[in-house]
Structure 1
Amino acid sequence: MVLGRAANMSLMDISKIFSLLQPKEEDEDNEQCQALNNAVSGDNVTLLSELLSQENYRKCINVRSGWGVPVTPLRTAAALGHLRCLELLLEHGAEIDSLDVKAQTPLFTAVSGKHLDCVVALLKAGADPNGSQYNNCSPVLTAAREGDVDVLRELLHFGAEVDVKPKVPEWASNATACRGPLYISAVYGHLGCFKLLLLHGANPNYNCTDDKMLARIKQPKTVLEVCLRYGCGVEYIQLLIDFGADVYLPTLIIDKTTKQNEALVLLLKERVCPKTLMSQTRLAIRSYLPFAHKEPAIDRLDIPLILRNYLKHDTSEVM
């Protein structure tokens, strides 16, 4: 009898939850809101333009609608990659950084969907490249995980934080010390994103210069150590070395879990051979350049093209 009553209560609770998620039929604006979302979902720019020309529809432009997870028309356009609808909504005053129930902005959903044109349009219109502070993830972390170099480049160009940290509880962050974009791009094997992050100022000694991290964890793992242990390849190790990673920070434990390859040999060699004067000069010059706009700053330097390319780590031309 008790079990039956508990089962009935559970069904009632579930029914209540679903009823809360459903759009309210008595809401006088619901029909207009849903019409806007339907036009966007169908990528019907003509219909959307006609609706937005009317005041009763225009006032609903930032209202969430839809069954389950209500969303704004702009969120729908960004998620589906419907650029023309997205631009039209922005022209009519759609709130650019509006949040859904997951604290995701339209930009975040466009990044997740790999809709580069929508990402660019939102950034140019003033969207926050870092997404929402209330979301555990960020556009940069998402692009790094997906290996989307073009999207990542646009985010960094518009000032996204290159060393953004995932928002995880303190107890969880003790278990895994390396979680930033640089680490994520390495473990997922996205070399293009890895290099792009370093070019935009990502800290090659991520974790080991963070006072809070050092106070909590005695020997936090560096990106270099993680790349070595999980066999990310010699290219990743070389890039970290070239961008100034401290080669003495990683704790080298030679056991069955350490993948012995040329990357390990490279690191051991780097520990006994000092950097060349050219390499040290490049690191010194890059450290004085603006953090967020290094490449444009390099282009303005009155030096030969071959040296500008060297500062950008573009070694296509022989020095």
Structure 2
Amino acid sequence: MSCRDAMASRGKIAVLLINAGSMLKLRTAEEEKRSCEISQLRQAVLQNNDRLLDEMLCQEIYKKVINCRGGWGIAGTPLHAAVSKGHLSCLQVLLAHGAIIDCVDVKAQTPLFAAVRGKYLDCVLTLLKAGANPNGSSSNNCSPVLTAAREGDAEILKQLLKHGAEVNSRAKVLLWTSSARVSSGPLYLAAVYGHMECFKLLLLYGADPDYNCTDAKLLSSDKQPKTVLEMCLRHGCGVEYIQLLIDFGANVYLPTLIIEKSTKQNEAVELLLRERGNPKALTSQCRLAVRRHLRKINKINCIDQLEMPTSLINFLQHKAAPVTVL
């Protein structure tokens, strides 16, 4: 390239940079005002000043940005900010002024997901009653149910399940191995983190006791997928977890771990062997059959509404019979 061509090329580059700089300044000027308004809304939320927030949202300039994410370093909307701090009154104001309930932040997390993660039950209930999707966003790798099961928050988990959350929830992004993909559902998480109440709650609401997964394609991708029962044995979960899985119909013939000499779960293994050698009682088999049918027709949450004696309803819900004092 000649010296003259090089000079011409540099001149063109300089012009392009000047034009780009001018456009950047124009965009920044246009966005700066909006960013300031979003920031002011966010500050009112973070200060839990619901009265000021209400006054601001009565003005069109603030109403326009109610569903906007913040500026640099701000991942979510004012609604995300409210639930992340547990500011219920601000959450209610935002919803009353038309905030989108299932808006997502930069990680595709909905406000409900943030409320579950923060363990703010009142915010969770408010969002669910207002129509929030109990499964969160399909674009996010995790889900509210998975988070609640891992954190051991039984009351929040119960509310999610009562409002129709998927009990066999799966991580959206597949993990490295097929066995990890299959065994990473909420039932598995509740067990390995030692959250017995959540574990039983998931089973009561119809969690699959074998794989905690209903994705046939995912299950078929591994020649020997690991069951929840086997993973509980591997992780040293207490015998009460094994007993619950058996009671809720887990296939006791699937695990192969019990033949390994290295296992230290002697009591759990003995329980499993006894179960293999003795058929289930007819009453237990009837309970499993009824519960499977209710789960199939998506009515597992309606057991307490069945027209039958309370004692039978309690039996279907695995509740102990009351002790009669003579």
TM over 0.5: yes
- Please give the root-mean-square deviation of Cα atoms over the aligned residues, in Å: 2.1
Q: Which residue does 2:177 correspond to in 1? A: 173
Residues in 1 aligned to 2:242 and 2:127: alpha-carbon distance in whole angstroms: 35
Superposed, which structure 2 residues align to 1:109-148 within 5 Å?
Answer: 109-148=114-153
Q: 1:312 to 1:95 in 2, by over 3 A?
A: same
Higher mean displacement: 65-74 or 142-151? 65-74
Superposed, which structure 2 residues align to 1:66-105 within 5 Å?
Answer: 66-105=71-110
Q: 1:292 to 1:153 in 2, by over 3 A?
A: farther
Q: 1:76 to 1:25 in 2, by over 3 A?
A: farther
Q: 1:107 to 1:292 in 2, by over 3 A?
A: farther
Q: 1:254 to 1:318 in 2, by over 3 A?
A: farther
Residue 246 (1) aligns with residue 264 (2): no
SS at 1:96 equivalent: coil
Q: Which residue does 1:294 correspond to in 2? A: 300
SS at 2:257 equivalent: coil
Residue 278 (1) aligns with residue 283 (2): yes
Deviation at 1:255, TM superposition (A): 3.8
Please list the CA deviations of residues 5-42 of structure 1 after superposition, one character each: whole Å capped at 9, or x if unmatched. xxxxxxxxxxxxxxx9xx95642222221111000001
Residues in 2 aligned to 1:209 and 1:141: alpha-carbon distance in whole angstroms: 15
SS at 1:29 equivalent: helix
Q: Is the 8 A contact 1:70 1:100 kept in 2?
A: yes
Q: Is the 8 A contact 1:163 1:202 kept in 2?
A: yes
Q: Which residue does 1:190 correspond to in 2? A: 195
Deviation at 1:294, TM superposition (A): 2.2
Q: 1:174 to 1:187 in 2, by over 3 A?
A: same
SS at 1:289 equivalent: helix
TM-score where L is the length of structure 1: 0.87
Q: Which residue, 292, 309, 312 being the options, matches 2:314?
A: 309
Q: Is the 8 A contact 1:230 1:258 kept in 2?
A: no
Higher mean displacement: 93-102 or 28-37? 28-37
Residue 37 (1) aligns with residue 42 (2): yes
Residues in 2 aligned to 1:120 and 1:90: alpha-carbon distance in whole angstroms: 13
Deviation at 1:262, TM superposition (A): 1.7
SS at 1:31 equivalent: helix
Residues in 1 aligned to 2:40 and 2:132: alpha-carbon distance in whole angstroms: 25
Higher helix proportion (structure 1 or 2): 2
Q: Give the count of matched residue pairs.
A: 296
Please list the CA deviations of residues 125-147 of structure 1 after superposition, one character each: whole Å capped at 9, or x if unmatched. 11111111111111100000000
Q: Which residue does 1:263 correspond to in 2? A: 268
Superposed, which structure 2 residues align to 1:192-211 within 5 Å?
Answer: 192-206=197-211, 210-211=215-216
Amino acid at match of 1:251: T
Residues in 2 aligned to 1:205 and 1:255: alpha-carbon distance in whole angstroms: 20
Q: Which residue does 2:16 correspond to in 1? A: none
Q: 1:209 to 1:301 in 2, by over 3 A?
A: closer
- Which runs of 4 or more aligned residues in structure 1 lie more than 6 Å from their structure 2 counterparts after TM superposition? none
Deviation at 1:207, TM superposition (A): 6.3
Please list the CA deviations of residues 139-181 of structure 1 after superposition, one character each: whole Å capped at 9, or x if unmatched. 10000000010111111111111101112236x1335241111
Deviation at 1:219, TM superposition (A): 1.0
Q: Which has the larger radius of gyration?
A: 2
SS at 2:226 equivalent: coil
Q: Which residue does 1:12 correspond to in 2? A: none
Q: Is the 8 A contact 1:162 1:200 kept in 2?
A: yes
Q: Is the 8 A contact 2:167 2:206 kept in 1?
A: yes
Q: Is the 8 A contact 2:148 2:154 kept in 1?
A: yes
Amino acid at match of 2:83: A
Percent identity, aligned pairs only, is 60
Gaps of 5+ in 1: 1-19
TM-score where L is the length of structure 2: 0.85
